[in-house]
Amino acid sequence: MNRIEQRLQQDKKILSIYFTAGFPSLQDTAPLLEALEDSGVDMVEIGLPFSDPLADGPTIQASSTQALRNGMTTTLLFEQLEGIRKKISIPLILMGYFNPVLQYGVEAFCKKCSEIGIDGVILPDLPLAEYTNHYKEIFDRYGLLNIFLITPQTTEARIREIDAASRGFIYMVSSAATTGGTQDFGETHSNYFKRIEQMNLKNPQIVGFGINSAKTFSVATTYSSGAIIGSAFISLLKERGIEAIPDFITSIKNI
Q: Compute how many other C-beta atoms are within 10 angstroms of the C-beta atom of residue 192.
A: 21
For helices 106-116 and 74-81, give the axis angle rounded to 10 degrees. 20
79 is catalytic: no
Among the listed residues 5, 38, 42, 45, the single catalytic one is 45
Residue (of 181, 52, 19) closest to 124 by Cα position: 52
Contact 124, 55 (CB under 8 A): yes
Radius of gyration for the chain, computed over Cα atoms and rounded to the nearest angstrom: 17
Pairwise CA distance, residues 129 & 96, whole Å: 18
Integer Cα distance of 107 and 253 in angstroms: 38
Asked if 136 and 112 count as a contact pair (C-beta separation under 8 A), the reply is: no
Amino acid in position 37: E
Alpha carbons 19 and 185: distance in angstroms, whole number: 22
The Cα 11–Cα 84 span in angstroms is 26
Residue pair 5/168 in contact by the 8 Å Cβ criterion: yes
Concerning whether 45 is annotated as a catalytic residue, the answer is: yes
Q: One of 42, 56, 107, 156 is an active-site residue; which one?
A: 56
Q: Any idea which residues carry the catalytic annotation? A: 45, 56
